Structure 1
């Protein structure tokens, strides 16, 4: 939710979250609310998402970039038919490094190329709906039957400086996730400096998120305790 001046998550919002947390704790202290709390917990569990469907790292995001109706000029994106010097020319211009080039190329682990859009056809990995380090594993295998390898993919193992990152990411998926998240954030924020108001509001959002997380944990424990007490009380009455 936002306004013309930025997100509305501020200190007042955080205070409201804290008040709601205290009210909730007072509510669940009453055993009479046990049945409804159990049902609420059941429905709440249905919204749980352990991870994104595709997997992969969590990437920090700061809002505030403006949309534009004007497209950038042609030729500023990498040409898939080119080699190492071309990749460096494009990415170095943006202030990115060899590590960024290799890490961002790992994004090919998702999706596939289509002839009507790029002139190439096929997926880079056996499971193009899963974000993992299989792109680098396949690169080191050489030519893989049925899998796509563009000239800009092959050069990552042919160039010594690129290859050391390919080998690292092929054996250490956590390192790939960490570096990809960092490089993705750098790339997505090129030319963008968030305003002080945006940073302050986003900081309040993080505080609110932590408050909600604490509330959720307290809520879950309290529901379990109340449920046990309710069941024990019901059994006692039935046995009586």
Structure 2
């Protein structure tokens, strides 16, 4: 543990208690890391999302607010890289929302090299597209199902994604309700995108969804593993 980690975590938790933006911080970390290409080693968790043109990509609409939220933390703890700060804030937000405690390592290096647009998942598409995106990152079908579970937090906004609504009845609580709703299908008042429905397109995927819907502990255990993989994409060797 670096010397300032405990203090930084507590500061982020205090901020979240005053400004409950847990989903936004998770989305920032995801969108920064999710640009990774394991073949050419470009993108990844390197904080390039804070620069134009990447922050202006359509998939990143609304995330400038998250970048601005975390700026004072970087000013207070200048020894932490932006890349580490974005990923740590996500981990703290998940824990503060009732989710699992996710181990964290510092050492990510900031970059100004923005990636091309189009590397993040398209919510209107199903498994072939999701596999293209996640396999490019070096992730698996299981990671697709597990990481989709983070949709338990937050809601879609018309001015950001074009969609409106929350995936669950408690959008500030990290739990396994998302999977129950995926199994139940379209439910009045709740959001279910094509990329969510895709998790039941194949028997093996649906089996995982069912497991997580029935066993929150199994979801949390697997989520820890997949989240670490995501948050360390492009991590220095």
> Normalised by the size of structure 2, how large is the TM-score?
0.59
Task: Kindly indicate whether structure 1 or structure 2 has the higher relative contact order, using CA contacts under 8 Å at least 6 residues apart.
Answer: 1
Supply the distance in 1 between the matched residues of 2:189 and 2:204 (Cα, whole angstroms): 27
Other-structure match for 1:60:
103
> Which 10-residue stretch deviates more, 81-90 or 64-73?
64-73
**1-side partners of 2:109 and 2:180: how far apart?**
38
Corresponding residue for residue 178 of structure 1: 221
Question: Contact 2:127–2:195 at 8 Å: present in 1 too?
Answer: yes
- Gaps (5+ residues) in structure 2? 5-93
Secondary structure of the residue that 2:96 maps to in structure 1? coil
Task: Give the conservation status (yes or no) of the 8 Å contact 1:83–1:152.
Answer: yes
* Pick aligned residue for 2:141 from 98, 103, 112: 98
CA distance in 2, matches of 1:52, 1:190: 21
Structure number with greater Rg is 1
Q: What is the CA–CA distance in structure 1 between the aligned matches of 2:121 and 2:141, rounded to whole Å?
A: 14
Aligned-pair Cα RMSD in Å: 1.8
Deviation of residue 160 (structure 1)? Answer: 2.0
Q: 1:157-202 CA distances to partner (integer Å, 9 max, x unpaired)?
A: 12222111101100010110011111010011012135xxxxxxxx
Aligned residues of 1:98 and 1:161 also touching (Cα < 8 A): no
2:151 is the alignment partner of 1:108: yes
For 1:130, the equivalent position in structure 2 comes to 173
Report the Cα offset of residue 8 of structure 1: 5.4
Q: Secondary structure at the match of 1:128?
A: coil
Structure 2 distance, partners of 1:166, 1:159, is 11
Choose the corresponding residue for 1:81, options 116, 119, 124.
124
Cα distance, 1:124 vs. partner? 0.1
Partner of 2:108: helix, strand, or coil? coil
What is the TM-score when the length of structure 1 is the normalising length? 0.59
Give the structure with the higher percent helix: 1
Q: CA deviation at 1:52?
A: 4.0
What displacement does 1:59 show? 0.8
- Deviations along 1:87-142, one digit per CA (max 9) or x if unpaired, are 01110111111110000000000000101011111000000010000000111111
